Amino acid sequence: MDCDLAVVGAGPTGLFATYYAGFRGMRVALIDSLPELGGQITAMYPEKAILDVAGFPSVKGRDLVEGLVAQALTADPVQLLGRTAAGLATDDDGLTLTLDDGSAVRARALIVTAGIGKFSPRRLPAADGWVGRGVEFFVPGFEPYRDQDVVIVGGGDSAFDWAIHLEPIARSVTLVHRRDAFRAHQRTVEQVRASSAAIVTKAEVAALRDAGGGTTGPLAEVELVVDGAPRVLPAQAVVAALGFVADLGPLQQWGLETHRRHLVVDSSMRTNLPRVFAAGDITEYPGKVRLIAVGFGEAATAVNNAAVVIDPTAHVFPGHSSEGS
């Protein structure tokens, strides 16, 4: 298929880039390896409260995505979901993206908004054999944890966010971390400390067991080693919030300049390849801050600069969307 702009990555930044490209009159193809729009938020954090998007004191991930999808669909994009952008070839007139299903997209420009790329959760060694049987890596919904004893393993923002959300509905919540310092935002840490959730530090998970002390029945308890001493906690659910291993996948073979698995861009969101831009968490430049709010601004910057590549008679700044014609 042919289009003006291809957007690889259908998370918040990609959705906003799609809308903004439509606002500028471009024909857009939106590509994502996941089967639905919303990216990482839809896959892992639909119930998470997001606190750093302008105009929303607090907004659930699913509600933010719902608004972004409605906005993006005004551009009437071609949606190529469940497909991975595998190959890239550029020429003087445009570029060709080949997808893993053998199809191809011909575009005048490309914006990569792939976030952290493909992601897989970090293992909790003691939980081998328990995944899907009481152990999960993220929390797409809270109701299954009602009246359960929940152990959350990790010290980052996700671990503390889930502790806050699960504390009102679970019978008990215990957050376990191997160190006594946390990566999570200090305000969130203070909220958990002020709640009924327990925090156990200098601790590691040693074993998971059923009620009979085995591994074949439903999860019933977690054995920790806390500062060298054993401790057993009741648990019908464990959330292993240990982060994710990111993989840029085929993008790494395209000749894009990278730094620590991120794409290096300039102030116009241009990569080192002609006609290829990037926006959102996947980008790297001096002073980069990885927030959804930042990704929105980068998406608009990338689209406006891509517009001139697509049509040299266009202007980088088209005027405000609130202005009349």
Residue 188 sits in the same domain as residue 145: yes
What sign has the CA pseudo-torsion 274, 275, 280, 282? negative
Asked if residues 61 and 158 have their Cβ atoms less than 8 Å apart, the reply is no
Output the pLDDT for position 46: 78
Question: How far is the C-alpha of 287 from the C-alpha of 284, rounded, in Å?
Answer: 8
On the question of pLDDT at 323 being above 70, the answer is: no
Residue 170 sits in the same domain as residue 96: no
Q: What does the longest C-alpha to C-alpha distance in the chain come to?
A: 74
Output the pLDDT for position 47: 76
Which domain-ending residue is among 225, 240, 255? 240
Per-residue pLDDT tens digits for 195-206: 999 999 999 999
Which domain-ending residue is among 187, 208, 240? 240
- Does the residue 315 lie in any domain? no
Query: If we measure between CA atoms, which residue out of 41, 32, 184, 177 comes closest to residue 113?
Result: 32
On the question of pLDDT at 42 being above 80, the answer is: no
Residue 128 sits in the same domain as residue 230: yes
What secondary structure does DSSP assign to 169-225, as a single string? TSSEEEEE-SSSS-SS-HHHHHHHHTSS-EEE-SEEEEEEEETTSSSSS-EEEEEEE
Residue 103 sits in the same domain as residue 170: no
Average pLDDT over residues 222-245: 93
- Does the residue 316 lie in any domain? no
Residue 87 sits in the same domain as residue 191: no
Question: How far is the C-alpha of 8 from the C-alpha of 278, rounded, in Å?
Answer: 9
- Does the residue 80 lie in any domain? yes
170 is in an annotated binding site: no
- Does the residue 15 lie in any domain? yes
Residue 176 sits in the same domain as residue 269: no
According to DSSP, residue 270 is labeled B
Per-residue pLDDT tens digits for 114-171: 987 666 788 899 999 999 999 998 887 889 999 999 999 999 988 998 999 999 999 9
Q: Tell how strand 258-259 and strand 203-210 pair up.
A: unpaired
Which domain-ending residue is among 178, 207, 240? 240
285 is in an annotated binding site: no
* Percent of all residues in the chain with a pLDDT value above 70, rounded to a whole number: 97
What is the residue range of 258's domain? Answer: 2-119+244-310
Residue 190 sits in the same domain as residue 234: yes
Output the pLDDT for position 49: 83
- Does the residue 324 lie in any domain? no
Residue 200 sits in the same domain as residue 61: no
What secondary structure does DSSP assign to 34-87, as a single string? SSSTTHHHHHH-TTPEE--BTTBSSEEHHHHHHHHHHHHHTT-PEEEES--EEE
- Does the residue 50 lie in any domain? yes
Per-residue pLDDT tens digits for 290-321: 999 999 999 999 999 999 999 999 888 877 76
User: Which residues lie across from 119 on neighbouring strands?
Assistant: 246
Give the CA distances from residue 307 to residues 174, 216, 244, 303, in Å, rounded to whole numbers and listed in that order: 51, 58, 34, 6
Lookup: tokens for 242: 């240990």
Instruction: For residue 176, give the CATH number of its domain.
Output: 3.50.50.60
- Does the residue 45 lie in any domain? yes
281 is in an annotated binding site: yes
Q: Which residue has the higher pLDDT, 277 or 243?
A: 277
Per-residue pLDDT tens digits for 61-98: 889 999 999 999 999 999 999 899 999 999 989 999 99
Residue 222 sits in the same domain as residue 181: yes
Residue 199 sits in the same domain as residue 273: no
Q: Which residue has the higher pLDDT, 44 or 153?
A: 153
85 is in an annotated binding site: yes
Residue 186 sits in the same domain as residue 141: yes
- Does the residue 325 lie in any domain? no
Residue 191 sits in the same domain as residue 86: no
Number of compact structural domains in the chain: 2
Mean pLDDT of the chain: 92
Min mean pLDDT across 2-11, 29-38, 102-111 is at 29-38
Min mean pLDDT across 99-113, 228-242, 244-258 is at 244-258
Lookup: tokens for 113: 């908004």
119 is in an annotated binding site: yes
148 is in an annotated binding site: no
Output the pLDDT for position 243: 81
On the question of pLDDT at 325 being above 50, the answer is: no
